[in-house]
Amino acid sequence: MTDPSVNPDTSTPRRAIDVVNASLKRRYAKERRFRLLGATAVGLGLVFVLLLFADIVGKGYTAFQQTYYRLPVTLSADLVDPEGTRDPRTLARADYMTPIRQSLRQLFPEVKDRRERRQLNSIVSVGAPQLIAEAVIANPDLIGTTSDFWILADDDIDMLVKGYIDRNAPESDRRVDDRVIGWIDRLEDEGRVAKRFNTIFFTHGTSREPELAGIAGALMGSFYTLVLALALSFPIGVGAAIYLEEFAPRNRWTDLIEVNINNLAAVPSIVFGLLGLAVFIGFFGVPRSTPLVAALVLTLMTLPTIIISSRAALKSVPPSIREAALGVGASPLQTQFHHVLPLAMPGMLTGTILGMAQALGETAPLLMIGMIAFIVDVPGGFTDPATVLPVQIFLWADSPERGFVERTSAAIMVLLAFLFLMNLAAVLLRRRFERRW
Amino acid sequence: MNAWTLTLFLLAVMAAAYHLGRKRAISGAGGIDRIKTLHSLPLYHGLYAALWAGIPALLLLGLWSGFQDQIITALVTASLPPESLDGLSEGRVGLLINDIRNLATGNIVSSTLTPGIQAAADQYGRLQQISSWTKWLLVLTVALGGMGLALSHTEPGMRARNRVERIVKIIMIVFSSIAILTTLGILLSVLFESLRFFHAISPLEFFLGTSWSPQIALRADQVGASGEFGAVPLFTGTLLVSAIAMLVAVPIGLMAAIYLSEYASRGVRAFAKPVIEVLAGIPTVVYGFFAALTVAPLIRELGTSVGLEVASESALAAGLVMGVMIIPFVSSLSDDVINAVPQSMRDGSYALGATQSETIRRVIVPAALPGIVGGILLAVSRAIGETMIVVMAAGLAANLTANPLDSVTTVTVQIVTLLTGDQEFDSAKTLAAFALGLTLFMATLTLNVVALTIVRKYREQYD
């Protein structure tokens, strides 16, 4: 194109540099556009991270506080402990709702109508009596006295106090009507309404009532599941990695195993749930919705991750270590266990922690093996029915009550905090023990 | 009296065996000063005894726990009076057995009590008792027997180390075959149930039918429960959601990878790369929550404000969020392959006067293309198999549509819906889930194999 004969109409021959110079402006503009595009993509990625966290935290931080009323409650002895035995079982079964209702009636003497009274009673959570029962069992001297108790509010009132219910909306669209809002405002003016730290969220199992629902059961379920999954997958993963990396002859069989492991790492997790349902539950009769069956499924799911990272860790140990050990007369297995394994351990542990983090966040396969059962009790062992934290999140996200939205977000925050800690541990481990040979 | 206590007992026996084996080896050598006369260190003699005590007993315990339930159920079923089973379908027998089991463990029973069932339940309980006792007895006998056998072998000349090492090696081989067993297990379980499904419903109807409503009539005259199993709407729904996800993930992920590996300063890269990869570590249920409660209402509001009709569970919301989830997947894989392109190719291009973006577009991307395509295929396979986001944000209605604002359902959503909730294990509805699972497994497997082959070929090219 720089051949002058191509441009017969120009009197002077055009030089290549002129052509280049003429196009430079356009090319530089293109360069800037491309660069901007790249920066936008990176920026978008960062914005998504920020949005996600802002959304979750913004929705959920209020769940760590819960609305209570400070009410003077008279625990008359003939209602709570008529026989005066102070037997914890009698105390646990006694009627504490009546004293709470009496207290409310004293505060609002003008409420006479039956329907209105029922409405007044409903501002207190159905779980409130149980909290008083716990206080009384801990301190039986409260019987026969009048003292101020923190009474748990109903979830609708909790939402009202936290400002999630629009007071200007038409009354028929609101979960709380004007009369109740008036009562709550009066209680607030008297300084009887307070938001206190939500201990129930961390100490109770799930519940149909948002104000009584907690993550303790799901956390324990996740804990049992992870402990068992770790106990199974770590030895198996490390053993398999050592064999495949150090001892296996290179033949078709080991090639097959290798391809297999790489493929298993990319199989959708829900397929592992089908496997668990058909083989572990259907064939071997492992009890449904227990940490045991969940751990078995998650072990199979995380094994490829652990094996792949363990093999990488073994690969990074220089051959001179092995040669030296063999040279002074160690057997091949002694070489591995006494010399190579300790050096590869940090890398293996990092991979295992990441695998466990993946297992902690996994939901889909656990839905297949019955972990979505509604279980109120906190599990106490590997074969108790349980649910796990991500499944609890899934279940709460499906619940229509407004109170569950903030609880779901709060549970997500707890889950993310655990994942963050695990990843931090993995990073620190790698930093601390990483060696360059 | 459960298996956990027994396992603890076994561990105690193993510890004892280790101790005894060690002791015996030392005394056989004639005291701690003369252990040089042993072939192997006392440690190995101890381990040898512990392995002999533990492994056979553990195997027995595992097998017993795995099969005890089936055998007892078979025995109880056989002992039921034959006339009570006459004319009962397989499912009804299962219910009956369930009742017996519940009765034996003292739970609530659904059907009325008959003396026959009561007797069967008593027998069930009795058999379970017997089984439990025999298990303890047998397992402990085997453990102690193994220990005795090992100890009787222990003598100074025994090659304990070699034997222990051989056992350990066999254990490691077994461990590495678990990966194969898992694949086999997946294949067999979905294949077996799918074959039963395809007996009832023809594969042609399944793969080519366009109407999906997996309700099986409970009564003959029930309305709207015809049970249609045409899976095409599920396939198109899956493809639609995945396509939206890839439209988000591929441009953003690829451009981010290019910018971070070619333009960004060291500081920006050190900050942005890990932050974007945080997206990959967030559990999918969190994305599902985000999609269902934040993105979907937002899209609906936006759509209605410009006069579009948007379903509350639109494919767009699920697809967008899934795309965000996949961004780090695409970007880190592309980052790897872009970094693997030799510097000499960049230098050559710059020497000819190309700008940086021209180098990237005309030299680096074409050179890295196979690796990038492989990475994108892996991302597609992940999008197809993704479950929680679509379960929470996409709908259940099997619409055959290409409109992203409409509600669609996917293969994974249907698997979850069919297998959670009330089910009988052998109804066509449940089996359909396994047929869908088989389809899903095969599709992702093919994608993975192709992608991994491409990536590997590409790596060899520049190594």
Q: Using one digit for the tens of pLDDT, what is the confidence trace for B1-51?
A: 467 788 888 999 999 999 999 988 888 888 888 888 888 888 899 999 999
Residues of A in contact with B445 (CB under 8 A): 263, 267
> B8, B166, B263, B289: best mutation site toward chain A, by most A Cβ within 10 Å?
B289
A393, B185: Cβ pair inside 8 Å?
no
Establish if B182 belongs to a structural domain. Answer: no
Out of B289, B356, B358, whose CB is closest to A397?
Answer: B289
- Give the per-residue pLDDT at B431: 86
In this complex, which of A30, A41, A267 lies closest to B256 when CB atoms are compared? A41
Round to whole Å and give the CA distance between B435 and B308: 37
Residues 367-386 of A with CB under 8 A from B: 367-368, 372, 381-383
CB pairs under 8 A between A and B: 267
Distance from CA of B416 to the nearest CA of A (A): 7
> Which of A23, A270, A336 would you mutate first to test chain B, the one with the most B CBs within 10 A?
A270
Residues B117 and B232 in one domain: no
Could you tell me if B53 and B73 are in contact, meaning their C-beta atoms sit under 8 angstroms apart? no
| Sequence ranges of the domains in chain A | 4-60, 65-205, 216-433
**Quick one: pLDDT at residue A9?**
54
Which has the higher per-residue pLDDT, A364 or A374?
A: A364
On chain A, the residues whose CB falls within 8 A of the CB of B452 are 259, 262-263
The mean pLDDT value for B106-116 works out to 65
State the first-to-last Cα distance of chain B, in angstroms, to the nearest integer: 59
- Across chain A, mean pLDDT equals 88
pLDDT at position B453 is 84
Residue ranges making up the domain that contains B416:
228-462
Inside any domain, residue B61: yes
Q: Do B275 and A383 count as a contact with CB atoms less than 8 A apart?
A: no
In this structure, the strands spanning A146-152 and A193-197 are unpaired
Record: contact A41-B255, CB cut-off 8 A: yes
Alpha helices in A190-318 (DSSP H): 200-203, 216-242, 252-264, 269-275, 291-315
CB of A263 within 8 Å of any CB in chain B? yes
Q: How far apart are CA B135 and CA A44, in angstroms?
A: 61
Ordered alpha helix ranges (H), B80-114: 82-85, 90-105
pLDDT for A309-348, tens place per residue?
999 999 999 999 999 999 999 999 999 999 999 999 999 9
Chain A contact set for B192 (CB, 8 A):
278
Strand order from edge to edge, sheet including A65-74:
A146-152, A65-74, A193-197
Contact state of A408 with B272 under an 8 Å Cβ cutoff = no
ipTM value, please give it. 0.89
Task: Tell me whether residues B272 and A46 touch, CB distance under 8 A.
Answer: yes
For chain A, the first-to-last Cα distance in angstroms comes to 54
Four-CA torsion A209, A213, A217, A222, nearest 10 degrees: 110
Would an 8 Å CB–CB cutoff place A64 in contact with chain B? no
3-state class (DSSP) for residue A69: strand
pLDDT at B86 over 70: no
Q: Are the Cβ atoms of A240 and B253 closer than 8 angstroms? A: no
Residue B129 has pLDDT above 90, yes or no: no
How large is the angle between the packed helices A97-107 and A128-138, nearest 10 degrees? 110
Phi (first) and psi of residue B112, to 5 degrees: -75, 150
Nearest Cα residue in chain A from B274: A46
Statement to judge: residues B288 and B421 lie in one domain: yes
Over range B383-402, report the average pLDDT. 89
- In degrees, rounded to 5, the angle at the alpha carbon of residue B81 between the alpha carbons of residues B80 and B86 is 105
Q: What is the pLDDT of residue A429?
A: 87
Question: Is residue B295 included in any domain, yes or no?
Answer: yes
How does residue B238 score in pLDDT terms, banded at 50, 70 and 90?
A: very high
Find the farthest-apart pair of alpha carbons in chain B and give their distance in angstroms, rounded: 95
For A:203-262, CB contacts with B below 8 A are 235-237, 239-240, 242-244, 247-248, 256-257, 259-262
Mean pLDDT of B123-137: 86
Residue A81 has pLDDT above 80, yes or no: no
Top residue of B286, B290, B423 to mutate, by most chain A CBs within 10 Å, is: B286
Domain total of chain B: 2
Task: Choose the closest CB to B441 out of A235, A271, A405.
Answer: A271
Which chain A residue has the Cα nearest residue B187?
A: A275
Task: State how far residue A288 is from chain B, nearest Cα, in angstroms.
Answer: 12
Reading the block at residue A206, the tokens are 């799930």
User: Is the confidence at residue B116, as pLDDT, over 90?
Assistant: no
Mean pLDDT of B235-242: 94
Tell me what pLDDT residue B225 has: 53
Residue finishing a domain among B124, B142, B158:
B158
Q: Which residues contact A53 (CB under 8 A, 6 or more apart)?
A: none
Cβ separation B284–A48 shorter than 8 A:
no
Following CA atoms A171, A174, A175, A176 in sequence, which dihedral angle do they give, to the nearest 10 degrees?
-50
- When pLDDT is cut at 50, 70 and 90, the band that residue B226 belongs to is low
Q: Which of A301-310, A340-349, B217-226 is the least confident region?
A: B217-226
The answer for A 122-161 residues in CB contact with B (under 8 A) is none
Residue A1 has pLDDT above 50, yes or no: no
Task: Calculate what percentage of chain A has a pLDDT beyond 70.
Answer: 97
Q: Is A293 on the interface with B (CB under 8 A)?
A: no
Confidence of residue A238 (pLDDT cuts 50, 70, 90): very high
Measured CA to CA, the distance from residue B254 to residue B327 in angstroms comes to 8
Instruction: Name the CA radius of gyration of chain A, rounded.
Output: 32
Across A237-251, B7-21, B95-109, least confident range? B95-109
A274, A281, A368, best to mutate vs chain B, most B CBs in 10 Å: A274
Is B3 or B170 the better-scoring residue by pLDDT? Answer: B170
Evaluate whether residue B15 is within a structural domain.
Answer: yes
Q: Which of B179, B385, B391 sits opposite A257 (nearest CB)?
A: B179
Q: Report pLDDT for B55.
A: 92
Q: Does A404 touch chain B (CB under 8 A)?
A: no
> Which residues in chain B touch residue A244, judged by CB atoms under 8 angstroms apart?
176
Same domain membership, residue B257 and residue B351: yes
Residue ending a domain, choose from B114, B138, B158: B158
Q: Write out chain A residues lying below 8 Å of B97, CB-based.
A: none
* Model confidence at A3: pLDDT above 60: no
Nearest CA of chain B to the CA of A51: how many Å? 10
Element of type H or E holding A181 = helix A178-189
Residue B460, pLDDT score:
65
Last residue of a domain, one of B143, B158, B173: B158
Listed in sequence order, the residues at least 6 apart from B195 whose beta carbon sits closer than 8 Å to its beta carbon are none
Average pLDDT score over residue span A35-41: 95
Task: Lowest mean pLDDT of A94-98, A344-348, B117-121, B229-233, name the range.
Answer: B117-121
Give the CATH number, domain containing residue B240: 1.10.3720.10
What pTM does this model have?
0.88
Tally of CA atoms within 13 A in the half-sphere of A128 that contains its CB: 26
Residue A311 to residue A308: CA distance in whole angstroms:
5
B337 compared with B102, residue with greater pLDDT = B337
Residues in Cβ contact with B211 at an 8 Å cutoff, skipping those fewer than 6 apart: B228, B230, B233, B398
Q: Which residue among A30, A41, A307 places its CB closest to the CB of B357?
A: A30
Query: Residues A240, B176: contact at Cβ < 8 Å?
Result: yes
Mean pLDDT of A420-435: 87
Residue A46 touches chain B, beta carbons under 8 Å = yes
Q: Does A55 touch chain B (CB under 8 A)?
A: yes
* Contact between B120 and B100 (Cβ < 8 Å): yes
Kindly determine whether residue B420 and residue A372, on different chains, have CB atoms separated by under 8 Å. yes
pLDDT in the model for residue B288? 94
Choose the CATH number for A216-433 among 1.10.3720.10, 3.30.499.10, 3.40.1380.20, 3.60.9.10: 1.10.3720.10
